[in-house]
Structure 1
Amino acid sequence: MSTTDTPTPIALVTGGSRGLGRNTALALAAKGNDVILTYRSRSTEAEAVVAEIAALGRRAVALPLDVADAGSFEVFATQVRQALAAHWQRERFDSLVNNAGIGIHASFADTTEQQFDELVNIQFKGPFFLTQKLLPLLRDGGRIVNISSGLARFALPGYSAYAAMKGAMEVLTRYQAKELGARGIAVNIVAPGAIETDFGGGAVRDNAQLNAFVASQTALGRVGVPDDIGGVIALLLAPENRWINAQRIEASGGMFL
């Protein structure tokens, strides 16, 4: 708890053990949030983030979650409920960041049904039903931030299925904002541009030609880094930005203007 009468806000960040999720979890902690973060398989990385958050003077818990397995969400919700009671003596958390995801690069003509289904399960079905399952644990007046991509606005060959899922998330965000407004819950979506992480095999980070191309097509003249995104999400969840709702916010440095 904080030193004031206001409880410390608790944010739940999926895929918080690495990449943009890790950066978001740390940015939220730096802004005074405690964090529940999820990981799929790399518990050591997740616990390292928990330790980093503790070093910032905040509390964090790491829980396993496979966002592709909607059948596991009931058990996960129970684990969240137990973590809230054990670590915070609370029944509700304050904000949800649906960050976990994968990238698959394949042309429209060559995308397989297996690839398509994997993207649906992780990028759309997962956050759809996970958010639904967690609604009873999200406080009235809370926040949800979904994650899209600049690729939902501009088109680059090889991302038709991935971008289509992100486009679906953008539409879902508006419906969530409309339907959850009665509970005072604001829902927005952040669309990063190309970021130097290990996402999608680390192509943007490690392929010098691709990196240079993206930089040349970005108004600010470089490729994004994780620190460009985590702060945007933390800003959206700050109390003073409570009136921002149902918005797509692109953080791409001005790609393909």
Structure 2
Amino acid sequence: MLAVVTGASKGIGRLLVERLIKKGYQVVGIARSREALEELKARFGDSFEYVVQDLAKENAEKDVKEALEDLGVNRVDVLINNAGFALMRPLLEHSEEDLQKLFRVLTISPVLMTKELLPFMHRGGKVVMVISGVAFVRTPEIPAYGAAKAALHYLSLTLSEELREKGIKVIRVYPKQVATPFWDKTPKGAISPEQVADAIMRAIEKEKEEVFVPGYIKVAKYLPRWPALTYKFEF
């Protein structure tokens, strides 16, 4: 079995690489940091290959597909769209470049990566979308991030319907804030990246379509939509 993981160099992505290999997967990691990816290669040897790529760049997904072909990959059993980042500033302080890059990585790339790698996937394959609980609430501290994740939520629902007839399952994962290098200062109440990685592995094994981490944040799905519900992070 072969898995492709974006954002594989640190945080949740790095933990997923470790767990997938432990479960017997061959893993291809995608990230910007060649150094971090080479560290994983030195650690896991033939079980791990990598593609250095910045998913904020146009046509990045096509380049990833070509790189996988160069590596001899002809089948992908699991694709985990995990890469992401946020900008903690008021919306009016975002530049056009900021918005384009953020939506490119968080919203557009997961869809295009799925589309590009679809020829490698077969019935029984799985696409994991690491979304966020903020898809259901308004977050003033990270407004563009919340909007991008809400858009990814919507698009993932549509992808799930379109891929169902091909026998490919889309797994949507909604963690609350996670204690990773994603944050300059970790919010109070943040969960560990290990919790999220373990939940994703269970979802893959049990073929769940929707996962909230921790489970109680599922209540946000049924609360009034923005701007009625606002969530403020505490640091």
TM-score, normalised by the number of residues in structure 2? 0.85
Aligned equivalent of 1:31: 23
In structure 2, how many angstroms separate the alpha carbons of the residues matched to 1:19 and 1:60?
Answer: 17
What is the distance in 1 between the residues matched to 2:44 and 2:151? Answer: 32
Paired residue for 1:203?
A: 185
Task: Give unpaired runs (5+ residues) of structure 2.
Answer: 220-235
Q: Which amino acid aligns with 1:203?
A: K
Q: Which residue of 2 is the match for residue 113 of structure 1?
A: 96
Do structure 1's residue 65 and structure 2's residue 53 form an aligned pair?
yes
Q: Which runs of 5+ in 1 are unaligned?
A: 1-8, 205-210, 216-222
1:48 to 34, 39, 57: 39
Deviation, structure 1 residue 37: 0.4
Instruction: Report the equivalent of 1:251.
Output: 213
Measured in 2, the distance between the counterparts of 1:24 and 1:170 equals 21
Larger Rg: 1
4+ long deviations beyond 4 Å: 253-257
Alignment of 1:34-183 (within 5 A): 34-40=26-32, 42-54=33-45, 59-83=47-71, 85=72, 91-183=74-166
Name the CA shift for 1:255/1:93 in 2 (closer, same or farther; >3 Å): closer
Partner Cα separation in structure 2 for residue 140 and residue 253 of structure 1:
29
Determine helix, strand or coil for the equivalent of 1:199: coil
**Counterpart residue number, 1:234:** 201
Find the counterpart in structure 2 of residue 11 from structure 1: 3
The letter of the residue matching 2:87 is I
Instruction: Give the letter aligned to residue 19 of structure 2.
Output: A
Task: Provide, for residues 44-97 of structure 1, a one-character-per-residue CA deviation record: whole Å limited to 9, x for no partner.
Answer: 21122233334xxx71101112211232332321111222x2xxxx52110100
Q: Report the residue type matching 1:33 in the other structure.
A: Y
For 1:49, give the aligned amino acid.
L
**Is contact 2:91-2:143 (8 Å) kept?**
yes
Root mean square deviation, CA, Å: 2.0
Amino acid at match of 1:168: A
The alpha carbon displacement at 1:254 in A equals: 4.3
Task: Give me the whole-angstrom Cα distance separating, in 1, the residues matched to 2:172 and 2:47.
Answer: 26
The size of the alignment, in residue pairs, is: 219
Q: How far off is 1:145 after superposition?
A: 0.3
The code of the aligned residue for 1:94 comes to D
Change (3 A) 1:109 1:225: same
